[in-house]
């Protein structure tokens, strides 16, 4: 099982840049880039902060792919 996410699509749909989203959840732009590229798995705290900021349920944003 691989942890994937819709972060890039949702972020773009909501009109946020990587820089803006990163700033609003206290992480760097590089961290957002890494999450979008599935290279970095965020902690639960960061995942919840991002989903709250994007006004989306966490399971809609992050999901397992078999």
Partner 1 sequence: MMLSKKEISILIEIIFAISFAFIFMPYFYENNDNSLVLMDGLIRIVIEILVFTAIYFSVAYSLLEFVYKKRETKDERDDLINSKSYKVGYLLYEFSLFIFIGYVCSKMNFSFILKNLNNEALYENFTLTDAGVVFMILGLLVFISIVKSLYQFYLYRSI
The binding track of 8-47 with respect to partner 1, each residue x by CB under 8 A or -, is --------------xx--xxx-xx--x----xx-xx--x-
**Nearest approach, Cβ of 48 to partner 1 (angstroms)?**
13
Rounded Cα distance between 66 and 55, Å, is: 26
Q: What is the CA radius of gyration of the chain?
A: 11
CA quadruple 12, 18, 19, 24: dihedral positive or negative?
positive
The reply to whether 6 sits near partner 1 by the rule CB under 8 A is no
Residues that bind partner 1 (CB under 8 A): 22-23, 26-28, 30-31, 34, 39-40, 42-43, 46
């Amino acid at each position: 099982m691989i942890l994937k996410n819709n972060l890039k699509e949702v972020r773009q749909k909501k009109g946020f840049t990587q820089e803006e989203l990163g700033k609003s959840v206290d992480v760097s732009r590089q961290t957002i880039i890494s999450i979008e590229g599935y290279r970095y798995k965020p902690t639960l705290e960061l995942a919840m902060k991002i989903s709250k900021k994007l006004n989306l349920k966490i399971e809609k944003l992050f999901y397992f792919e078999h």
